[in-house]
Structures are given as structure tokens and as C-alpha cells.
């Protein structure tokens, strides 16, 4: 333990000593607009307000933001449900989204997922961590898995990078291989609910050697963006069948219809 702490401190000091040289060779710039910034993290002052941070009132089941006037109309807005949750109870136990999916968050996600800007993981995870409950540190952090063919093409799993950063922020125990995607699936865009579920059936499983760790634990399922929720539902289903006590979805951006 002492050796590990020493290694971590040595690594931190090394990074700090090299930072001026890195900034000289690669001047820090805002990943959204390209303007110069003070450090190799975050956005410029003009771009921070472009991120849409979800707020109250929100659905008590899935945390979907609700119209502000509902909070004024209801004496107790804590029990409000959104229309999708009233129609069908979600498989998960809540969604923690750092931002709503807007043009600004879309640009960050594209740069992170497809542009190789993996350094954005630290900032994005920090925004997610700020919205996680204080008792989340006892949870297990499991990223939404990618099929091995997609990892080979992209070079990394963006959800795993976010989960790794959340673990460094002490938001849970990292279990990067808790889930496996054993079947390559096409894009779910344009498919209805039933078609999405059919496409994902049997595609995601819990790693057998990780079931003992998952059983009885609170799981934070990590992803970069939540769209229809079909993939997170598939993950939550298999995690709960493996004995997870609860499954909370944590993402950087959430698509809100």
C-alpha cells in the first residue's frame, strides 16, 4: 500500500513538472472553440455556459428534467414522474447525466469518441462525478462494453475511460470487465423500442468471473451518451439477473426528447 501511494505521488509530481513543457509544445486550447486557455483541461469562459446542466424539477424515477412550472404547481415535486416512466417503469434505478445533449456536448462527445481526444475523459468524468450522490463511493463502476471488433477499430472504449476517471475521483470501485459484448450489433438509430431490444438480445452478458463481485452491490453503469436507453436497459437487465442490488446509469450527455 505504501509503495502504491509512493508511485502515485511520484507520478503526480512528474506530471506537474512536465506540464510547463507540454503547454509550451502544445498550447492549451478550448476543445469547443479553439481559444487559448490556462490549462490542458476544461473549456474557455465563453463555452462553459453552452453546456446544459439538468436541474430541478426532475422525474423521481429517471431524473429526466421536467417543465419548471410543474415544480411551482406541485407542493411536493419530489414524487413527480415523466410520461415515459408512467407508461413503463424503467429497468434501471435512476440516471445521472452531467449535461443534456446539445450541440456543445455533441462536439465534445464526437471529439472524445471518434476524434481521439481521450484527454477529455478527465473533464467529462469530473462533471459526472459532481452529480453522483455522496454515498456512491461504495458502488461498482462498470462501463458499457464495446464489441472487440469496435475496440480494435477505435483503439479504446470511451465508457471505460470515463469509468477509470470516476474511480480516480473515488466514486466507486472500477470493474472495467464486468460486462462483455459477445455479439456485434449494428447501429440502433431509426429502430423502434421492440426492434432495439431484439437487436441487443443476447449481445451483452456479465463476465462469469465477475459475478461474485457484482452480487449484492450497487452498480454505476457508465457511458458517454444516453440516447434511447436500449443499451443501458440491456446492461441493467443482465446485471440485475446477476444479483446487482441496483443499477444507476451515469453518462456525460443525455438525449432528451
What is the model's pLDDT at position 206? 94
> Is 245's pLDDT higher than 80?
yes
At 54-87, the pLDDT tens digits run 888 889 899 898 887 665 555 555 678 898 899 8
Q: For cell 440485475, what's the residue?
A: 240
Helix/strand/coil for 165 = helix
Q: What is the mean pLDDT of the chain?
A: 84
Cis link prior to 91 (omega < 30° from 0)?
A: no
At 125-170, the pLDDT tens digits run 999 999 998 777 789 999 999 999 888 989 999 999 999 999 999 9
The burial class, CB within 10 Å (0-12 / 13-18 / 19+), for 204 is buried
Q: For cell 414524487, what's the residue?
A: 79
What is the model's pLDDT at position 73? 54
Cβ atoms < 10 Å from Cβ of 221: 30
- Predicted model pTM: 0.85
At 167-224, the pLDDT tens digits run 999 999 999 999 999 988 767 666 667 787 787 888 899 999 999 999 999 999 999 9
pLDDT band at 239 (very low <50, low <70, confident <90, very high): very high
Name the residue with higher pLDDT: 238 or 23.
238
Q: What share of the chain is helix, strand, coil (3-state, %, to 5)?
A: 45, 15, 40
* Apex 206 CA angle, 202 and 207, nearest 5: 120
> Is 34's pLDDT higher than 60?
yes
pLDDT band at 14 (very low <50, low <70, confident <90, very high): very low
pLDDT band at 42 (very low <50, low <70, confident <90, very high): confident
Among residues 219, 239, 257, 208, which one has the least CA distance to residue 101?
Answer: 257
pLDDT band at 20 (very low <50, low <70, confident <90, very high): very low
Strands (E), the chain: 95-100, 140-143, 173-174, 179-181, 204-206, 218-226, 246-254
Three-class SS string for 61-120?
A: CCCCECCHHHHHHCCCHHHCCCHHHHHCCCCCCCEEEEEECCHHHHHHHHHHHCCCCCCH
What's the CA gap between 98 and 220, in Å, rounded?
Answer: 14
Phi then psi for residue 50, to 5 deg, are -75, -20
Could you give all domains of the chain from N- to C-terminal order, each with its CATH number?
Answer: 1-50 (no CATH), 90-254 (3.40.50.2020)
At 214-236, the pLDDT tens digits run 999 999 999 999 998 889 999 99
Amino acid at each position: 500500500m505504501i509503495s502504491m501511494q509512493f508511485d502515485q505521488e511520484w507520478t503526480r509530481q512528474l506530471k506537474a513538472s512536465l506540464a510547463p513543457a507540454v503547454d509550451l509544445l502544445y498550447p492549451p486550447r478550448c476543445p469547443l472553440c479553439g481559444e487559448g486557455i490556462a490549462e490542458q483541461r476544461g473549456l474557455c469562459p465563453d463555452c462553459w455556459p453552452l453546456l446544459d446542466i439538468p436541474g430541478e424539477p426532475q422525474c423521481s424515477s429517471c431524473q429526466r428534467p421536467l417543465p419548471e412550472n410543474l415544480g411551482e404547481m406541485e407542493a411536493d415535486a419530489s414524487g413527480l414522474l415523466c410520461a415515459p416512466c408512467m407508461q413503463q417503469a424503467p429497468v434501471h434505478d435512476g440516471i445521472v447525466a452531467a449535461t443534456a445533449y446539445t450541440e456543445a456536448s455533441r462536439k465534445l462527445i464526437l471529439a472524445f469518441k471518434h476524434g481521439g481526444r481521450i484527454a477529455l475523459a478527465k473533464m467529462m468524468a469530473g462533471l459526472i462525478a459532481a452529480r453522483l450522490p455522496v454515498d456512491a463511493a461504495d458502488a461498482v463502476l462498470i462501463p458499457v462494453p464495446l464489441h472487440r471488433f469496435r475496440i480494435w477499430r477505435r483503439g479504446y472504449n470511451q465508457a471505460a475511460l470515463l469509468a477509470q476517471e470516476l474511480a480516480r475521483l473515488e466514486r466507486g470501485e472500477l470493474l472495467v470487465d464486468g460486462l462483455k459484448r459477445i455479439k456485434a450489433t449494428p447501429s440502433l438509430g431509426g429502430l423502434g423500442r421492440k426492434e432495439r431490444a431484439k437487436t441487443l438480445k443476447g449481445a451483452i452478458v456479465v463476465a462469469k468471473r465477475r459475478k461474485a463481485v457484482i452480487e449484492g452491490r450497487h452498480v454505476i453503469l457508465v457511458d458517454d451518451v444516453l440516447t434511447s436507453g436500449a443499451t443501458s436497459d440491456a446492461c441493467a437487465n443482465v446485471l440485475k439477473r446477476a444479483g446487482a442490488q441496483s443499477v444507476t446509469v451515469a453518462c456525460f450527455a443525455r438525449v432528451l426528447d
